[in-house]
Amino acid sequence: MNNKSVLTRIKNWNLLLPVVSLLLVMAVNIIHDAAIGANPLSFFMITLRQTTGNGTILYGRIIDILNRGSEVAILAIGMTLVVSSSAGTDISVGSVMSLCASFCCMLLAGYGVSSTTTLAVPLIVGILGGIFIGVLCGMFNGTLVAYFHIQPMVATLILFSAARAIGLLLCNDLIVYVRNEAFGFFGGYIGVIPTAFVIAALCIIVTSLFLKKTAMGMYIQSVGINPKASRIAGLNSKRMIFMTYTVCGLFAGIAGIVAASRITSADSNNIGLYFEMDAILSVALGGNSLGGGKFSLAGSIIGAYTIQAITTTLYALGVSSTQAPVFKAIIVILIVAIQAPPLRAFFKRRSAAKQVKGAAV
Amino acid sequence: MEGNVVLTARGISMTFPGVKALSNVDFTLRKGEIHALMGENGAGKSTLIKCLTGINDFESGEIHVDGISGPVKNHSTKDAQEVGISTVYQEVNLCPNLSVAENLFIGREPMTKLHTIDRRSYNKRSQKIMDELGIAVDVTQNLENYSLAIQQMVAIARAVDMECKVLILDEPTSSLDDEEVEKLFTLMRALRDKGVGIIFVTHFLEQVYAVCDRITVLRDGQLVGEYPIAELPRVKLVAAMMGKNLDDLAEIQKESIENVEQKELEISAKGLSHTGTIKPFDIDIHKGEVVGIAGLLGSGRSELARAIYGADKANTGTLKVDGKEVKINQPIDAMNLGMGMLPDDRKAEGIIADLSVRENIILALQAKRGMFKQLSRAKQEEIADRYIDLVRIKTPNPETMVKQLSGGNQQKVILARWLATNPDFLILDEPTRGIDIGTKSEIQKLIVELASQGKSILFISSEISEMLRTCNRMAIMRDGEKVGELDHDLTQENVMKAIAGGEKEA
């Protein structure tokens, strides 16, 4: 280990490109700020700010990214496992988020009530109920993919289209408002820190511990690489795939609660809209193959926050929210391109050629 | 370039991470010759071939092909085909979900005037090609419906039909039975007479002497030499490949058969079957016994083993392990009863290609312990190191991805995986296929040694001689049915007779 130079170790670091991508986005901010004459480091500035209510909170672009990017980060955890085990994606997570939010708010407000300040059932019942629905959705997807051998895209297409509508049904076609301080907590702040970020961090830590302390990580990768061989070696390939979809549903549920709490309502039509795409993109930006097998959870998380960083940056640059997707697409193309194997091989060849030249001189 | 030379490679070098796969290798192929490329596992045969066919980018050296001026550098198998180099690999690389005809013409489909694929014409042409080669298939059926042997022959037919100047056959015979091998040889000789240069990679020495004109030997990525067949008798060839004289395989001694009779039963199957693959069979395997399964390819050898192990869940019958009746629904149930199975299709059912050697070795042991009882990293490394030493796996380090190893070393990794679980009953399905002689004898010795420790082995192999060397008893398979057993007078002749048919034996 010691005789390897720091440079080679950085070069061989599997998170190199995701991190570089994130740094690039930050660099854009710095350059922009410098160009308009503002403090170049204003991107990194974190200040304490009085809220309209009582307390003080942390404020700054980084805080905003960590706060707003949390739902996608939570979804990206589950998506990473799904992609690894089944070489497919769960495109229902955005809709399932919305369903979980609706179910949670319906429980809290009572069926047919469109706005409430008092809770019909204890808060914990509503929260767990919402998450439970997420788990059920995950189990449904998992059953279709693992036991009925339906292609993941098709299997999850069912809930992709249905879940949001079921949510509306549960809410009697209304947007249910739960204007309750306790419920607003999940989209608010713990002390000075955004709760959403704390929840995302907890999800990441628990999952990482699970992957580290059990053989789950190896099982999932093994099944993703070669399900037949894994079965012969004693793994239950189907059960592993079922499990990853269930976990993905669980995280969709958690993300749904956070999203609902942010706006203290269950807005079926908007909660989690297009989030499935961001979650899938996070996995890809993290340098993970969508063909399944080996995965890096850290990569996906960095990917998720990179996406939010791009969005925040665009707003900071003054790009309007309607045009933002265009610029977002351009940046994504660049990031994906620098990670693409042909380009990586190209740079490798070039640096090799340089070395040969150097040696000759 | 000399008049009759069709392909030359000069000074080819190639490095994989941590391994010098080829260093400065020369190779010459002449028109109308069958040229054997010999060497042990990891000697660089497959790597050289992949350099010729554009799968690997070699670092230095030049390749020249007859009729093409200047050095040829292929970047894909398609490039290679365009300069007239076609290949059939050790593991069949066709599309199992397409029909035989589609596989034959994939990438070069005949077109109608409307630029749509001319299905009728290619089905007809395909059937003609297959008929000419004497391969009995319905070309409109999906490839996956046919045995590995047939799939291999389709791959050869495809290469042959592309009117190649150079045909590379990489271990084409390892999944063929004798009759099929003979058919292939006839075809190879016919092609040779037409002027095609054939590179033949095989581990079967007899086959080299049966069909080849010339031999090139590689060892550890380096050229040992090129010899006309008459100048390199078998012993010298083996010596050249191993770099030493072979102390013969014959030294393996069988456990005395008499002892076995008193020993207890490990496995006792009654009327076990799996619909569509194997008819009901009975088999008893004692502790410390090596039982061979002999039969032609597709006679139900693997299927019998798979039914016991639960790889294909048995539909009927009862199975007793250690005297107790058990129910096996899936492999993990069998593993918990102390079984292990090395499957015959290494690529599809053996290795987890993208995982490291360490992970591949500990996988089954970890699966037995369960997901929540993870082996510590230190323990994993200790186990991996121990088995890398024990079965002598050639790998740069335990963290190397298993797909970067040569085929024989991959096989050893899977063997290590099962040894690590310390099984009482081990099924070895073609453990020596595509493996060099040195390793073959190591594996055979290991089998005998395991049996002497009281473990039971079910050994399946296409090479009767290697089963004769190791087995106490043999079950004979024919057409998906166990037709008898031989427990005395185990000779090549008797086994062949039994496989060929006649009366049912006791």
Sequential DSSP letters for A211-241: HHHSSHHHHHHHHHH-HHHHHHTT--HHHHH
Compute the average pLDDT of residues A27-38: 85
Minimal Cα distance from A292: which residue of B? B354
Q: Which chain B residues have a beta carbon less than 8 Å from that of A233?
A: 331, 352, 363-364, 367, 417
- Higher-confidence position of B388 and A335: B388
**What is the tens place of the pLDDT at every residue in A140-163?**
999 999 999 999 999 999 999 999
Q: Using a CB–CB cutoff of 8 Å, tell me whether B397 touches chain A.
A: no
Q: Once rounded to an integer, what is the mean pLDDT over residues B187-210?
A: 84
Mutation target to probe the A interface, by most A beta carbons within 10 A, among B57, B349, B351, B373 is: B349
Average pLDDT on B167-188 reads: 80
Question: Given this model, what pLDDT does residue A358 score?
Answer: 59
* Least confident span in A197-211, B371-385, B489-503: B489-503
Determine the pLDDT at residue A154. Answer: 95
Tell me whether residue A345 is in a domain. Answer: no
User: From the candidates B354, B373, B379, which should be mutated to test the interface with A, based on the most A CB atoms within 10 A?
Assistant: B354
Q: Flag whether pLDDT at B252 surpasses 50.
A: no
Task: For residues A340 and A333, give the distance between their C-alpha atoms in angstroms, rounded to a whole number.
Answer: 10
Q: Do B349 and A213 touch (CB under 8 A)?
A: no
Q: Do A221 and B355 touch (CB under 8 A)?
A: yes
Q: Give the three-class secondary structure for B274.
A: strand
Are residue B325 and residue B429 in the same domain, yes or no? Answer: yes
Q: Dig out the tokens for B366 from the structure.
A: 């970890």
The reported pLDDT for the residue numbered A132 is 97
Q: Is the pLDDT of residue B18 over 80?
A: no
**Residue B329 pLDDT exceeds 60:** yes
Considering the domain architecture, whether residues B442 and B489 belong to the same structural domain is answered as: yes
What is the arithmetic mean of pLDDT over B259-280?
81
Asked if B490 reaches chain A (Cβ–Cβ under 8 Å), the answer is: no
By C-alpha distance, the chain B residue nearest A225 is B352
Residues B206/B36, Cβ–Cβ less than 8 Å: no
A105 to chain B, minimum CA–CA distance in Å?
36
- Chain A residues inside the 8 Å CB shell of B370: 215
Whether the pLDDT of residue A89 is over 90: the answer is: yes
A294: nearest CB among B335, B351, B354? B354
pLDDT band of B3, cuts 50, 70, 90: low
Mean pLDDT of chain A, nearest integer: 89
pLDDT of residue B250: 44
Which residues of chain A make contact with B403, given a CB cutoff of 8 A? none
A61-76, pLDDT tens digit by residue? 889 999 999 999 999 9
- How many distinct structural domains can be found in chain A? 1
Of B332, B335, B350, the CB nearest to A229: B350
Q: Could you tell me if B305 and B312 are in contact, meaning their C-beta atoms sit under 8 angstroms apart?
A: no
Residue B15 and residue B17: Cα distance in Å, rounded? 6
pLDDT of residue A7: 75
Do the Cβ atoms of A215 and B359 come within 8 Å? Answer: no
8 Å CB contact of B341 and A232: yes
Per-residue pLDDT, A248: 97
- B270 and B412 share one domain: no
Tens of pLDDT, residues B70-111: 788 888 888 888 888 888 876 667 888 888 888 888 877 878
What pLDDT is attached to residue B382? 95
Higher pLDDT, A359 or B331: B331
**Which of B331, B370, B417 lies at the smallest CB-CB distance from A231?**
B331
Backbone angles phi, psi at B173, to 5 degrees: -95, -5
Q: Which of B41-50, B247-256, B490-499 has the lowest mean pLDDT?
A: B247-256
d(CA B288, CA A168): 67
Residue B343: list chain A partners with CB under 8 A. Answer: 229, 232
| CATH number for position B157 | 3.40.50.300
Asked if A213 lies within 8 A of B330 by C-beta distance, the reply is no
Residue A39 lies in a domain: no
* Contact flag A236-B375 (C-beta cutoff 8 Å): no
Q: Is the pLDDT of residue A90 over 70?
A: yes
3-state secondary structure of B280: strand
> Residue B7: which region, alpha, beta or left (left: phi > 0; alpha: psi -120 to 50)?
beta
Chosen domain end from B396, B422, B448: B422
CATH number of the domain at A81, please.
1.10.3470
Average pLDDT over residues A75-84: 96
| pLDDT of the residue at B232 | 85
B339 inside 8 A of chain A by CB: no
Q: Inspect the interface and report whether the beta carbons of B355 and A235 lie closer than 8 Å.
A: no
Tally A–B CB contacts below 8 A: 74
Assess whether B373 and B273 both reside in one domain: no
Q: Which residue of A has its CA nearest to B311?
A: A232
In terms of pLDDT, which residue wins out, A180 or A247? A247
Q: Which of A1, A85, A213, A218 to mutate to test the interface with B (most CBs of B within 10 A)?
A: A218
Does B332 contact A235 at a Cβ distance shorter than 8 Å? yes
**Predicted confidence (pLDDT) per residue in B120-151, tens digit:** 888 888 888 888 776 778 888 888 888 777 78
Cα of B336 vs its chain's centroid, Å:
28
A235 contacts B330? CB cut-off 8 A: no
Residue B506 — pLDDT band, cuts 50, 70, 90?
A: very low
Is the pLDDT at A341 greater than 90, yes or no?
A: no
Residue A309 covered by a domain: yes
Mean per-residue pLDDT for A213-224?
Answer: 94
Q: Please say if the pLDDT value at position A123 is more than 80.
A: yes
- Domain count for chain B: 3
For residue A1, the model assigns a pLDDT of: 45
Chosen domain end from B386, B405, B422: B422
Q: Which of B372, B396, B422 is the last residue of a domain?
A: B422
- Work out the percent of chain B whose per-residue pLDDT is above 90: 32
Please state, rounded to an integer, the average pLDDT across all residues of chain B.
84
Contacts with B348 from chain A: Cβ below 8 Å: 226, 228-229
Which residues in chain B have their CB less than 8 angstroms from residue A293's CB? Answer: 354
Q: Is residue A355 part of a domain?
A: no
Question: Are the Cβ atoms of B330 and A236 closer than 8 angstroms?
Answer: yes
Residue B298 sits in which domain range? 247-338+423-506
Q: State whether B109 and B195 are in the same domain.
A: yes
The verdict on residue B346 lying in a domain is no
Identify which of B55, B57, B42 has the alpha carbon closest to the alpha carbon of residue B12: B57
Q: Considering CB atoms only, which of A228, A234, A236 is closest to B348?
A: A228
Q: Tell me the pLDDT tens digit for each residue of B29-77.
A: 998 899 999 887 678 888 899 888 888 888 888 899 888 877 888 888 8
Is the CB of B372 inside 8 Å of chain A's CB atoms? yes
* Facing residue for A213 by CB, picked from B335, B353, B374: B374
Q: Token pair of A190, please?
A: 């713990």
What are residue A62's phi and psi, to 5 degrees?
-65, -45
Answer yes or no: do A234 and B335 touch at CB < 8 A. Answer: yes
Mean per-residue pLDDT, B475-496: 81
Residues 278-297 of B with CB under 8 A from A: none
Nearest to B367 among A216, A226, A234 (CB): A234
> What residues of A are in the B interface, CB distance below 8 Å?
213-216, 218-219, 221-222, 225-226, 228-236, 293-294
Does B309 fall in a domain?
yes
- Per CB-CB distance under 8 Å, the chain B contacts of A210 are none
Least confident of A286-290, A295-299, B285-289: A286-290
pLDDT at B95: 87
Question: Is residue A359 scored above 90 in pLDDT?
Answer: no
pLDDT mean over A26-33 = 86
Q: Which of A213, A222, A234 lies at the smallest CB-CB distance from B352?
A: A222
Q: Is the Cβ of B375 closer than 8 Å to some Cβ of chain A? A: yes
Residue A65, phi then psi, degrees to nearest 5: -65, -45
- Band of pLDDT at residue B244, cut at 50, 70 and 90: low
Q: Which of B349, B359, B369 sits opposite A229 (nearest CB)?
A: B349
Q: Are B268 and B235 in contact (CB under 8 A)?
A: no
Report pLDDT digits (tens) over B287-303.
Answer: 989 999 988 766 788 89
What digits encode the pLDDT tens for the residues B398-442? 999 999 988 888 999 999 999 999 999 999 998 987 777 777 888
Instruction: Determine the structural domain holding residue A160 and report its residue range.
Output: 67-322
Q: B178 and B35 share a domain?
A: yes
Output the CA–CA distances (angstroms, integers) from residue A304 to A20, A65, A320, A321, A323, in the order listed: 14, 10, 21, 19, 20
Residues B359, B407 within the same domain: yes
Query: CA B146, CA A179: separation in Å to the nearest integer?
Result: 66
**For residues B69-97, b (16+ Cβ closer than 10 Å) or e, as one string?**
eeebebeebeebbebbbbbbbbbbebeee
CB–CB contact B366 A230 (8 Å): no
Give A-chain residues touching B364 at CB under 8 angstroms: 233-234
Verify that B137 and B205 share a domain, yes or no.
yes
Residue B120: what pLDDT?
83
Q: Is residue B209 part of a domain?
A: yes
* Interchain contact, A229 vs B351, CB within 8 Å: yes
Whether residue B363 and residue A222 make contact (CB cut-off 8 A), yes or no, is: yes
Same domain, B230 and B365: no
Kindly state whether residue A8 falls inside one of the protein's structural domains. no
Looking at the structure, do residues B171 and B63 belong to the same domain, yes or no?
yes
3-state helix, strand, coil in chain B (%, to 5): 35, 25, 40
In this structure, the answer to whether residues B394 and B332 fall within a common structural domain is no
Domain assignment of residue A25, yes or no: no
Contact check, Cβ <8 Å, B351/A221: no
What does the pLDDT read at residue B355? 94
Q: Which of B328, B361, B366 to mutate to test the interface with A (most CBs of A within 10 A)?
A: B366
pLDDT interval class at A360 (50, 70, 90): low
Query: Looking at CA atoms only, how far is residue A214 from chain B in angstroms?
Result: 5
Residue A201 included in any domain: yes
Quote the radius of gyration of chain A (alpha carbons, Å): 22
Q: Are residues B472 and B502 in the same domain?
A: yes
CA-wise closest residue to B431 among B450, B403, B454: B450
Arithmetic mean of pLDDT, B7-16: 89
